[in-house]
Structure 1
Amino acid sequence: MRLLIILLLVLTPLRAMAAGVDDLARLLRIDDLAEALHQEGLQHGAALDAELLDGQGGDHWAGEVATIYDAAALALAVRTALSEHLTGEQIAAAIAFYDTPRGREIVTLELSARQALRDPDTESAARGLWLGMKRRGDMPEPLADIARYIEVNDLIQLNVESAMSASYAFLTGLADGGALDLTPAERLDQVRGEAAATRAETEDWLFAYLLLAYRPLAPEDLRAYVGFCETPAGQALNRALFQGFGAIYPEISYRLGRQLAAEMLASDI
């Protein structure tokens, strides 16, 4: 009986923690985000087909890309990171923010903007808006808060690091698949050589995306969001999300490179 009581005392907080992670994942719409990333992966695969396979990849290549960018695997990686890198108190604080009309609106706007940017015309317009502001030195009301949001969450640096890791993994997949003759050191040099361009592209994409997402948001709501991001819970959540995606995207990129190599070599036979 004593052992049973001890087990119950241990398991009860764990069950509460798991329930909290599920609630937070639901509020963040992780499944919807994973599906959006899956669709972005399909677009990326189609671009690789056009650029490197002369458009001959067909249904086989499209099916392989769909499997590599598996939405369920993406969602699981994020849920695992939330569970492993957030405390119960941090999960509760995040739920308290997102389980409100303001929090739900922010998540919806972020997801809707991400989906909208899959349309080339929408992305071009969003980039044009940002680049025009950047060129003129404009500082409309949302922009200062967006800049602060990016700074607080270190979004440029974290995204650059993620992009470089994914790029190296992709090149390694190509090399291991026999379609690229570069040593690990040469692959690393290539990725590092593209760092400045990656940073510039990341900055432009982030500002274009966030301007599109947050322009409908009331200024006080955006400031409240930045304020939450500055809290220990907000900082921990941001790190956990990057750790989740950081755990799976190099694997995805490697598999994509390896499969692309197989397709390229098969087309040469």
Structure 2
Amino acid sequence: MRLIAAVWLGLAGVAWAGPEADTTLRLIHMDAQMQIAREEGLSHAETLNAEILGGQGGALWHSQLDGIYDVPRMVEGARGPIEALDTATLERLNLFLGSELGQRISDLELAARTAMMDQEKEDAARGAYAELQGTDDPRLKAARTIIEAGDLVERNVSTALTANYQFYRALVDGGAYIMTEEEILNEVWSQEEELRADTEGWLMGYLMLLMQPLDADDRATYVAFMQTPEAGRLNAALFDGMGSVYSDVTYALGRVLALNLRALGESAQEL
């Protein structure tokens, strides 16, 4: 499961911000985005089933995964940071999000995210980005500005490293692996450089795909919005909420994997 958290990715919530936060959730298509997150998680779990469980994860395994990647529960888990946003901020956000361009971009974000789930389409998007490197294509500058404005690489890497830590900790807690805290941390941090490079390539490919249908004026408006303080606050809230959800579901996945390994008679292993 991958976190993008451009402002359009909506894992958000409602509290004292009231109807404005409800509107924000609707405008950023939160339910559809969470469904994508579920599908990504289930796909990753099936890879684990094939590579670690030898394909022996049966009905119980799939039932357990259903419980972990429950969309309403995941949405609830991400509500807190959005609840802390003030009404004035949400009102200003919704002026753009509810506009014709805002909704078009929201739809494009959803389409690009869905496309990037297909390996061939992801490879094509990354390839298109690679071919444009070193050119003055305006989409390159726009994508880099958006990434910088939202600190997207650093935030995504941090979230992924935390989730990976939770996964290893769950395997240890579940009796599948024998690792000290130091060994877990060393293993997680050893992935940082590769993860950073992969994240940057993915984000650039994704944003290039998203912006391809936009003309110069619409692209400039999109970039300008992403640089506003309001978009920055929403982006930070989305990362806080999503990070919490990712940590929870990744830990739960690790515990379920450990449980199934033990059920298959596997002894605890040293990594």
TM-score by length of 1: 0.89
Letter in 2 for 1:224: T
Q: Spell out the pairing of 1:4-83 with structure 2 (5 A cutoff).
A: 17-83=17-83
Deviations 1:22-46 (Å, cap 9, x if unpaired)? 0111001111111111111111111
1:111 maps to amino acid: L
1:201 aligned residue: 198
Distance 1:213 1:63, change over 3 A: farther
- Gaps of at least 5 residues in structure 1 are 1-13
Larger Rg: 1
1:68 counterpart letter in structure 2: I
Cα gap change, 1:31/1:229 in structure 2, threshold over 3 Å: closer, same or farther? Answer: same
The equivalent residue for 1:5 is none
Structure in which a larger fraction of residues adopt helix: 1
After alignment, is 90-99 or 226-235 more displaced?
A: 226-235
Is 1:162–1:246's contact at 8 Å kept on the other side of the alignment? yes
Change (3 A) 1:54 1:98: same
- What is the aligned length? 253
CA distance in 2, matches of 1:15, 1:121: 41
**Aligned equivalent of 1:268:** 265
SS in 2 for 1:55: coil
Find the counterpart in structure 1 of residue 182 from structure 2: 185
1:48-87 Cα distance to aligned partner (Å, 9 max, x none): 1111111111332222222211111222233332112x11
Q: Give 2:218's match in structure 1, choosing from 216, 221, 224.
A: 221
Counterpart-to-counterpart distance in 1, 2:216 and 2:152:
20
Aligned to 1:131: 130
Shift of residue 129, structure 1, vs aligned partner: 1.9
Q: Could you tell me how far apart the structure 2 residues matched to 1:125 and 1:67 are?
A: 34
Write the mapping of 1:87-126 to structure 2, written as runs, cut at 5 A. Answer: 87-126=86-125
Code of the residue aligned with 2:20 in structure 1: it is G
Separation of aligned partners in 2, 1:97 and 1:239: 18
CA contact (8 A) 2:16 2:83 kept: no
Q: Residue 248 of structure 2 is aligned with which of 227, 248, 251?
A: 251
Q: Which amino acid aligns with 2:262?
A: L
Contact 2:132 2:140 in 1 (8 A): no
Ranges in structure 2 where 5+ consecutive residues have no aligned partner: 1-13, 267-271
CA contact (8 A) 1:170 1:257 kept: yes
Rounded to whole Å, the distance in 2 between the matches of 1:58 and 1:262 is: 13
The range that moved more, 200-209 or 220-229, is: 220-229
**In the alignment, residue 122 of structure 1 is paired with which amino acid?**
K
Helix, strand or coil: the match of 1:91?
Answer: helix
DSSP-derived class of the 2:178 partner: coil
The answer as to whether partners of 1:25 and 1:79 remain within 8 angstroms in 2 is no
Q: Once the 2 structures are TM-superposed, how far is the Cα of residue 15 of structure 1 from its aligned partner?
A: 7.8
Partner of 2:234, secondary structure, is helix
What is the distance in 1 between the residues matched to 2:124 and 2:223?
25
Matches of 1:16 and 1:255, distance apart in 2: 30
Task: Note the C-alpha offset of 1:219.
Answer: 2.3
Question: Residues 67 and 150 of structure 1: is their aligned pair in 2 closer, same or farther, counting only changes over 3 Å?
Answer: same
Query: Cα deviations across residues 144-173 of structure 1 (Å, max 9, x unaligned)?
Result: 101100010000000000000000000000
Q: Which amino acid aligns with 1:22?
A: D
8 A contact 1:169–1:253 mirrored in 2: yes
Q: Judge conservation of contact 1:79–1:244 (CA < 8 Å) in 2.
A: yes
CA contact (8 A) 2:157 2:199 kept: yes
Please show how residues 140-179 of structure 1 align to structure 2 within 5 Å. 140-179=137-176
> 1:132 corresponds to which letter in structure 2?
E
**Partner amino acid, structure 1, of 2:76:** L
Q: 1-side partners of 2:105 and 2:260: how far apart? A: 41
Asked if structure 2 preserves the Cα contact closer than 8 Å seen for 1:45 and 1:62, the reply is no
> 1:103: how far off?
0.4
| 1:211 equivalent in alignment to 2:208 | yes
Give the secondary-structure state (helix, strand or coil) at the position aligned to 1:268.
coil
Separation of aligned partners in 1, 2:162 and 2:31: 24
